[in-house]
Structure 1
């Protein structure tokens, strides 16, 4: 029953998010449905139309729609979007999450307390200019900032990671940016449990940094034990990613699951006491949440501990058939409290892996049960890895477009020792906190982490086994899960009907690939993309892509993202010229040489490399229909050009602000 309820709530959340349903409508519907559901339950129909089941499904669907509306403050009079956002205001905000900084700014998620001394609600992304002389802000810090919110920019380039959509799925629609000198920090801000946990985690990290851990090892220790990945080098992170072991660097379901089973083993003697099983369950759950507190109560940790608290309850019941219901119940609880978690990749990967392990692992064990204990344990570990990988494979391909074929090697080499590493790490933390951490323990633990990094690095170097740049869209995602599900069912109980569905799914999957290739062959597009200190035009013709650029050495990953999504097979890089014909229209490019089109009037004018020109006079002379500026120009010049175009009532498109531009190929 809990599985069905969860599915209906999930459907309601998806409907509410994408169709922006206000909370009032589902609330009214629930007031109507609940009495009817009570009436249907009293009637207890055993035959005929299932009134109670249908009404229950509709009610839970409305509940899913409602919780998203409440979470995103839709239609709420106190939400900040009801205010005039075109004017500067005094925003009083509270830091609720510290994000990983980039080269230019420190970033935080903040909760709005008030705007111009009036109560307001909602969340804002706060970017603070990097300043080496100041300390980072902490969770629970309360700030007063006088500024105007900005909309989150769309992706600068086609098929680039959509950061705006990512933030919207966390309930964040705007950002505020300033420097440290322009904010006022409240001296005695109200403390929350999350702030205390975050501060305690920072205290643990400061204690560990006093010891002689290597820089690379310290970064991994912070990530592995405390869920903070800020200090991991890019090279180390890429090694874990390419080896299919990046999940080790985030405190997630894997870590909490290992800790749960360690606690189950260590506390098993409690079962001998009267009411010992209940005492053991309570102790295990409390210790899990204690670990979550030590790790800073970040959203991913809270989510994982919540899930495995329900798993601990399932172990207490000791009924394997209830496993799916208990996991579904944990998912239901989480999405009702935090419905937008449903759209986070970590949430999707965690539950996909857990459901797959619970379902597929026992079936793999039935296929073969070796007598030799070493072979049996190896087979069990391999079965868990294969089950989890099957569960997350379509999601991984959809988001990351690569498949580490040696994932089972890295898992076999690391996972068996991860329990020992986590247990030893917790001991290291405790000893560091009480200033009783011996040097030989530091050296031993540092050596273990260094060895793990080396093993992962070796696996990652086997580049022939890393399949990259795999095109995979949402339709393939759904068909992929259909094929995996039907394949497992068929291997468990081979039937002709199941085999037909399996072959049908495979044919549909292949047809989707062929259809995608056919669509690509018919496509032609010319796109102005954004790249700092460079000018780049894409000309796609079928599965071929010509990159027209002024600097072939400064292309970044703009091409890779586009080539994967568009199934590009041929790439060609060409030096950019000053003029092109786009359909029936003409594009002229003015660069630092400031050469003007004297003989003909272009429809489009692209300004690059900060040309020194009198734009007003040029516009009066050639009268273009649209002006473009890309990332190769100085921002100060772009602002002047934008004002000039506004005065002349000529459309102006700056890629640094509006993102890429797709030119019309109308040939009429």
Structure 2
């Protein structure tokens, strides 16, 4: 507690959030927890009566109880009101979401039957883009989000319920619009961002590159081509699309360079302060995502330490940023972006310096840039591997090489993208600059596509449960000690953890392979029958069903969850209601 008190207290706070989310204490128990938290706080004020050993325990318990209390306030009650299937609603948009093949998606606040409802709205792609300047009114088909039928399916309803969204609506007919005169400052900023995005659409560069520009600078990937996102994912460079610490540092460096050129040397402190103010304004403009907010807080804390002439502490910065984000919304703890973002930073803190010691002496700027790029990339990837395998069930070994080659150019790409976006925002169009940017991004996307084509180094449908995640995380944790002190004891401990990991995987696989299972899945208007026997599975699908979607959203998740080695698809005659397999009759209703 003496070395990293804030980090340990935030861990206790997070454990309290997890506890409340799992147990869901009712109001009576929450009142008791509030009383206990108040008693602990009073005892800490009267610390003269507490021993040095008891005081840290009381403080840790208080933060644990605080996590329970705050998460209970951020947990939304179940709504027993069921809306009609077709409603006339008035709504305003909250944000634009990723589009599908057929629809544009928006998060909206709708008013129906005198109630305000947060919902996901689907509108046809041929409908004009909605904005924050108007209230909209129209008939919609409304559906309550249902939990998945089977455990291997993604719990989309659970994900949205953490945002207090329980319905989805499909536009039916025309939309009427009425100009608003009650826009908040937040909505005005979002509208301005939307207008800049629309101006970028008018730049004379290729559509793919326009969408890349929106994603890398303005955190808008709503219209990005799915093939481009897939290439980034398969090459292990999807983090390059997310606005993260790298982007914030580069933009901060750009502001710092500009102010340093303008202001005299004696105002160097004000240069830092102005750069921090502008980086927060930039973060506000693009939306406070987890990685953006985390990066801004850490950067601010770092330079506060510098301005106060104190040694910066990474774990203090990480802990403080995590606490601020979770204090505002404890549900953020359960988002993949939050978890990966913070684990990556902690991994860099834990492994970067030990890995750098394995490289030759960095006696030049080029060597420092090269070796730091490799060590930071490897550290972040090693730390996040357990979670990446758990959530996405895929990994590409080519990502190490891809990061090594692409990331050193990230600073140039981010700066050029920022300049192009800024010029578009002020309606300044330099065709020569646009052409140069177009050529550069075409080269980037082509190289990433080349990395993504190494299918032999890309592995998907990798099964992983929480027990395996824990063991693998402990192995990554112990890797630091092996690198720093490569002795027999540390090596044997690491080998034991790795062996334990593979033993656990073998046990879970054997247990799953002992089970046989017959399931009937819904695929739109069609049914899909699956029969699992041992480590194999058969799927019967109709010819009218989209096979690629069935494989992506049904076959692959099922095989991953059940640790199936091989799956086979068979044609199903929709006129027949029965399937005969191995002497047994299976009815499809």
Shorter-chain TM-score category? 0.7 to 0.9
From 337, 342, 355, give the equivalent of 1:364. Answer: 355
Which residue of structure 1 aligns with residue 56 of structure 2? 53
1:65 aligns with 2:68: yes
Tell me if structure 2 keeps the 8 A contact 1:311–1:326.
yes
CA pair 271-484 structure 1, distance change in 2 beyond 3 A: farther
The 5 Å alignment of 1:375-524 reads 375-493=367-485, 499=491, 501-524=493-516
Between the aligned partners of 2:253 and 2:503, the Cα distance in structure 1 is 44
Tell me if structure 1 keeps the 8 A contact 2:99–2:223.
no
1:571 aligns with 2:567: yes
Between the aligned partners of 2:569 and 2:419, the Cα distance in structure 1 is 55
Q: Secondary structure at the match of 2:195?
A: helix
Q: CA deviation at 1:422?
A: 1.7
Which residue of structure 2 aligns with residue 260 of structure 1? 252
The 5 Å alignment of 1:100-499 reads 100-111=98-109, 116-117=113-114, 124-130=118-124, 132=126, 134-139=127-132, 141-143=134-136, 150-155=143-148, 159-179=152-172, 181=174, 185-263=177-255, 276-277=268-269, 279-297=270-288, 301-302=292-293, 304-316=295-307, 319=310, 322-368=313-359, 369-371=361-363, 373-493=365-485, 499=491
- The root-mean-square deviation of aligned C-alpha atoms, in Å, is 3.3
Q: TM-score with structure 1 length normalisation?
A: 0.78
Q: Secondary structure at the match of 2:73?
A: helix
Between the aligned partners of 1:321 and 1:312, the Cα distance in structure 2 is 8
Residues 538-582 of structure 1, C-alpha deviations (whole Å, 9 max, x = no match)? 111111112234439834322222122222123334454754579
Q: CA deviation at 1:111?
A: 3.9
Q: CA deviation at 1:293?
A: 3.6
Residues 257-309 of structure 1, C-alpha deviations (whole Å, 9 max, x = no match)? 332344456656899866743x2443122111222244255566445434543
Between the aligned partners of 1:397 and 1:542, the Cα distance in structure 2 is 23
Which residue of structure 2 aligns with residue 11 of structure 1? 15
Residues 211-236 of structure 1, C-alpha deviations (whole Å, 9 max, x = no match)? 21011211111111111112322222
Higher alpha-carbon deviation: 288-297 or 573-582: 573-582
Q: Which has the larger radius of gyration?
A: 1
Q: CA deviation at 1:374?
A: 3.1
Q: CA deviation at 1:143?
A: 4.8
Q: CA deviation at 1:184?
A: 5.6
Tell me if structure 1 keeps the 8 A contact 2:37–2:66.
no
Return 5+ residue gaps in structure 2 as ranges: none
Higher alpha-carbon deviation: 550-559 or 280-289: 550-559
Between the aligned partners of 1:334 and 1:410, the Cα distance in structure 2 is 32
Higher alpha-carbon deviation: 334-343 or 318-327: 318-327
Q: CA deviation at 1:365?
A: 1.9
Between the aligned partners of 1:90 and 1:574, the Cα distance in structure 2 is 44
Residues 331-350 of structure 1, C-alpha deviations (whole Å, 9 max, x = no match)? 10111102111111111111
Which residue of structure 1 aligns with residue 533 of structure 2? 541
1:528 aligns with 2:528: no
Between the aligned partners of 1:145 and 1:68, the Cα distance in structure 2 is 36
Q: CA deviation at 1:9?
A: 1.4
Residues 317-362 of structure 1, C-alpha deviations (whole Å, 9 max, x = no match)? 5655621111111110111102111111111111111111122212
CA pair 316-386 structure 1, distance change in 2 beyond 3 A: farther
Return 5+ residue gaps in structure 1 as ranges: 75-79, 589-605, 607-627, 629-668
Q: TM-score with structure 2 length normalisation?
A: 0.87
CA pair 447-559 structure 1, distance change in 2 beyond 3 A: same
Between the aligned partners of 2:355 and 2:291, the Cα distance in structure 1 is 29
CA pair 237-430 structure 1, distance change in 2 beyond 3 A: same
Q: CA deviation at 1:431?
A: 2.4
Between the aligned partners of 2:26 and 2:93, the Cα distance in structure 1 is 27
Q: CA deviation at 1:34?
A: 2.4
Between the aligned partners of 1:253 and 1:226, the Cα distance in structure 2 is 14
Between the aligned partners of 2:252 and 2:379, the Cα distance in structure 1 is 20
Between the aligned partners of 1:297 and 1:581, the Cα distance in structure 2 is 55
Between the aligned partners of 1:59 and 1:533, the Cα distance in structure 2 is 53
Tell me if structure 2 keeps the 8 A contact 1:156–1:530.
no
Residues 127-154 of structure 1, C-alpha deviations (whole Å, 9 max, x = no match)? 233162x322224754567778632133
Between the aligned partners of 1:388 and 1:266, the Cα distance in structure 2 is 31
Higher alpha-carbon deviation: 156-165 or 210-219: 156-165
CA pair 583-450 structure 1, distance change in 2 beyond 3 A: closer
Which residue of structure 1 aligns with residue 551 of structure 2? 556
The 5 Å alignment of 1:14-25 reads 14-22=18-26, 25=29
Q: CA deviation at 1:396?
A: 1.0
Q: Secondary structure at the match of 1:530?
A: strand
Which residue of structure 2 aligns with residue 651 of structure 1? none
Q: Secondary structure at the match of 1:459?
A: helix
Paired residues in the alignment total 577
CA pair 561-243 structure 1, distance change in 2 beyond 3 A: same
Tell me if structure 2 keeps the 8 A contact 1:128–1:180.
no
Which residue of structure 1 aligns with residue 37 of structure 2? 33
CA pair 501-94 structure 1, distance change in 2 beyond 3 A: farther
